[in-house]
A and B are shown apart, each in its own frame.
Chain A
């Protein structure tokens, strides 16, 4: 079955550590996105990518980094520079150029301990 997979589902990080969240899709989608969601809030765009080896900052990119070496994969690294990383992280993908509906992974819940 085609879909988008995020891992891990839950992640605990010590302060000062970098962590990488995985996002893989086998839908042959061009565009991939990372969002952050805080309790009771909407989705905020961190980074997005429309093509391999290219990505753009979203509204809250500070403290995060991404790569897009393969069409299927768009990992997100939460660096120690991110001051308040505890949140729910969602990865999504969609087709281009017109823009079909987005498919989401199940999310990663990151907690800093």
Chain B
């Protein structure tokens, strides 16, 4: 079983709609959680950190559920420019990064 798992998608989303997807992790001692965005043929870039109380950054909302060991990302009012692969990242108790394989989002006009 992979340590961090994501639905690969693609999630096809009409422009202006809301899309949400999850990432599950297996290590209950995981410390830090992040969402990254990766565009085709580019390096991943930090989208947002995920805090225990949940956090929002504009149209993006991230949640952490420690009891069920998953994090989620919700994108409201989707833009064409939101089309990308979203990577879930979890750090273990030593701080080592664990990446999910990514969820592809395609926003259509």
Contact = CB atoms under 8 A, between A and B. Distances in A.
| Secondary structure of the B contact surface, majority rule | loop
Contacts of B61: none
A38 B108 CA distance: 25
A99 B41 contact: no
A90 interface: yes
Interface string B76-109: 0000000000010101101111011110000000
Contacts of B41: 88, 109
Nearest to B95: A99
B69 interface: no
A97 interface: yes
B49 interface: yes
Nearest to A109: B41
Interface string A82-106: 0000001010101111111111111
B43 A106 contact: yes
Interface residues of B, number: 22
Nearest to A100: B32
A41 interface: yes
Contacts of A42: 87, 99-102
B91 to A, nearest CB: 3
A49 to B, nearest CB: 11
A107 interface: yes
B95 A101 contact: no
Contact of A99 (B31, B42, B44, B87): B31
Interface of B: 31-32, 34, 41-46, 49, 87, 89, 91-92, 94-97, 99-102
